Amino acid sequence: MTWFRYAGLILIVGCVSQNDALTPPLVQNADLLERDVLAVIVADYAHEFSGTLQLLPTNAFRFEDELHAPSLQRLEDSVSSSTDREAISDFRRRNADTELVDIPLRVESRYHWVTARELRQAEDNPYHRSDLSGAVIGLSHVGFSRDYRRALVYTTNNCGALCGAGYFVFLERDATSVWRITGKRLIWIS
């Protein structure tokens, strides 16, 4: 009797209607995938910078200012694959949210999510900037293609006066579900 219940459940889970053709048959948890993508980005920066990485949620920019909006539009105009366009569209949607990115990451390097209070102190008083010693890495929410195989994230790094850059980074998930950086587009540098 139990065997028939499981067989029926497998048949129900395996069925996908025509309307769901663009959606993966199993629901993906975008927040878990976002954590995995951001962990790849942080690990990449850990090879570049020593010490504790200070992680700064950057979705507060909302990608509508005079620097980011044209850059994102140029990126969208330059991509040819539909999955990259889907990732850009989802990126816009997920970063329009005011919720900050500050999820726990599974990485070997040390990191600290900068709080709004710490950021205000650093902006208001130059003597508090030393509290944000080391590299400050900005991370946006991640945009995904519909099949959750491609991802787009905006990252920044600031390592001191006139030392920093901002990038749009594309990643791809392979058959073993490992995310890899496939391209970086430099947006600004100082």
Q: What distance in Å separates the CA atoms of residue 40 and residue 109, rounded to the nearest whole number?
A: 11
Structure tokens of 1? 């009797």
What dihedral do alpha carbons 12, 16, 19, 24 form, nearest 10°? 120
| 13 confidence band (pLDDT: 50, 70, 90) | very low
pLDDT of residue 143: 94
Mapped onto helix, strand or coil, the DSSP state of residue 160 is strand
Domain ranges of the chain: 28-189
Question: What is the per-residue pLDDT across 149-158, written as a single tens digit (0 to 9) for each?
Answer: 999 999 988 8
| 3 confidence band (pLDDT: 50, 70, 90) | very low
Could you please report the per-residue DSSP string of 44-96?
A: HHHHH--S-EEEEE-GGGTT-STTHHHHHHHHHHH---HHHHHHHHHHHHHHS
pTM: predicted TM-score of the whole model, two decimal places: 0.77
Type of residue found at 167: Y
Tell me, rounded to whole angstroms, the distance of Cα 93 from its chain centroid: 13
Residue 26 predicted with pLDDT over 50? no
Question: What is the per-residue pLDDT across 35-51, written as a single tens digit (0 to 9) for each?
Answer: 999 999 999 999 888 88
For residues 112 and 46, the answer to whether their CB atoms sit within 8 Å is no
